[in-house]
Amino acid sequence: MTISRIACVHSGSAKATQRFTELAGRYDFLPPEKCDVIVALGGDGFLLHTIHNCLALGKPIFGMNCGTVGFLMNEYRLDDLPARIEAAKEICLLPLAMEARMEDGRVQKGLAFNEVSVTRHSGQSANMRITIDGVERLAKFVGDGLIVSTAAGSTAYNLSAHGPIIPLGSNLLALTPVSPFRPRRWKGALLPHISEIVIENLDPDKRPLAATADFKELFNVASVAVCEDPSNTVTLLFDHDRSLEERVIAEQFAF
């Protein structure tokens, strides 16, 4: 890609602010609405916020790590930023669309590039029914919750809950239990990316649920429908020596 106009946003942390000042002293940045590409300075969480905040602009995003883990970020370097961006590899991510029906009948929606989670919102375990593409697959799940994860998000909350790491391009979603009590030995499922997953609260009066799409939280949820949304995509840019595909594969061998 040919880059002539760059915007830069940062998380506001001391480290990210310092890096932004360094870059702004060397490069002429424009507002995100007028740029060809957005540079995001921060950690993985800030990159996720940038994706959501700038989704309507349709601009590719080049993240540079000024946080901690930085799994979705490139290494911070001051030199040769335009050349790095022009040589970067593009990765297109598709989000999950969440449609939550609340206990009062309202319907609320959200997008998740990492995962949608449905978890207990009380001291008691959640009781949930799982339906996939209109077929009941689990009449009653008892546990702390369920996670529906994209491939890009499979190394985040999904992995912490002992879910599978999904290579990019595999066209799969992960359905992962959180602290399952019944069925005790159920490890979750890998599903085609075109699946529609519906999770219903079997006991909303005594066992309320919360639903989260990335960082959007909803409470007192009666049911949640989740499916891939190809109408909302984001392009992330990666240095060739920091390819996201390679990092996802390598994570399966990390100890």
Per-residue pLDDT of the chain (255 residues; tens, 9 = 90+): 556 799 999 999 999 999 999 999 999 999 999 999 999 999 999 999 999 999 999 999 999 999 888 889 999 999 999 999 999 999 999 999 999 999 999 999 999 999 999 999 999 999 999 999 999 999 999 999 999 999 999 999 999 999 999 999 899 999 999 999 999 889 999 999 999 999 999 999 999 999 999 999 999 999 999 999 999 999 999 998 888 888 888 888 887
Radius of gyration of the chain (CA): 20
pLDDT of residue 7: 97
Q: Where in the chain is the domain with CATH 2.60.200.30?
A: 96-228
pLDDT of residue 1: 56
Q: Where in the chain is the domain with CATH 3.40.50.10330?
A: 6-93+233-251
Query: Quick check: is 241 catalytic?
Result: no
CATH of 96-228, one of 2.60.200.30, 3.40.50.300, 3.30.43.10, 2.40.110.10: 2.60.200.30
pLDDT of residue 126: 96
Q: What does pTM read for this prediction?
A: 0.92
In eight-state DSSP terms, residue 79 is: T
> How far apart are the C-alpha atoms of 184 and 200, rounded to whole Å?
19
> How far apart are the C-alpha atoms of 80 and 4, rounded to whole Å?
13
> How far apart are the C-alpha atoms of 151 and 171, rounded to whole Å?
8
What are 172's strand-pairing partners? 192
Given the residues 28, 44, 203, 205, the one annotated as active site? 44
Buried/exposed code over 136-160 (b: 16+ C-beta within 10 A; e: otherwise): eebeebbbebbbbbbbbbbbbbbbe
For the domain bounded by 6-93+233-251, which CATH number is listed? 3.40.50.10330
